Amino acid sequence: MNRETLPYRPCAGFMLINAEGLVFVGQRIDPSAHGFWQMPQGGIDQGEDVRAAALRELEEETGIGAHLVEVIAPASRTIAYDLPDELLGKVWKGKYRGQEQHWFLGRFLGTDANIDLNAHEPAEFNEWRWIAPGLLPEVIVPFKRDVYEAVLAEFRDLI
């Protein structure tokens, strides 16, 4: 498989902050990612608006509807990452080399009782928590660390 000939998968992600300035992260159910945490994110459907995709992914993965979110800002650019060699050809049916992500920052207007990891089948996360933004690069799977550092740099002054 030639990495250079594969496209990036279009993706949207959402950095959700609460009133205390902490960021929502979920622990993926996927056994290969056990012990790692991530912000809600996922693929963009063909023809789907990127903001709509980010809000859809947020709702599917957390149960938090758009009415409980104030979108603060989109990132100024897309942020891409490549899959490590051991995952290339194994995820997303081998169609992509990695993801090109569109990130959004938003404030959570609800309460923790509004969070429902089983709102959509199949569930993506088995646990969730609020963490300090600076901890994001430490909790994500290592090959996405640069992405989380870039997202932090984009939104740091707005959190």
Overall pTM > 0.85: yes
d(Cα 111, Cα 96) in Å, to the nearest integer? 37
pLDDT, residue 30, reads 80
Residues in CB range of 132: below 8 A, 6 or more apart:
22, 23
> Are β-strands 23-28 and 37-38 bridged in parallel, bridged antiparallel, or unpaired?
antiparallel
Q: Where are the domains of the chain?
A: 3-158
User: Residue 93's Cα: distance from chain center in Å?
Assistant: 20
Which residues of the chain fall short of a pLDDT of 70? 32-33
pLDDT, residue 129, reads 98
Residues in CB range of 44: below 8 A, 6 or more apart:
10, 11, 12, 50, 53, 102
Interval 68-105: pLDDT, tens: 999 999 999 999 999 998 888 888 888 999 999 999 99
pLDDT, residue 94, reads 84
Q: Are 147 and 85 in contact (CB under 8 A)?
A: no
CA neighbor of 14 nearest in space, from 154, 116, 157: 154
Strand, helix or coil for residue 68? helix
Pull the structure tokens for residue 87.
């995952």
Which whole-number Å values give the CA distances from 67 to 64, 71, 106, 112, in the listed order?
8, 10, 12, 15
pLDDT, residue 128, reads 98
What single letter denotes the amino acid at residue 100?
A: E
Pull the structure tokens for residue 13.
């992600």
Q: Are 61 and 51 in contact (CB under 8 A)?
A: no
- The correct answer on CATH 3.90.79.10 for the domain covering 3-158 is yes
pLDDT, residue 8, reads 95
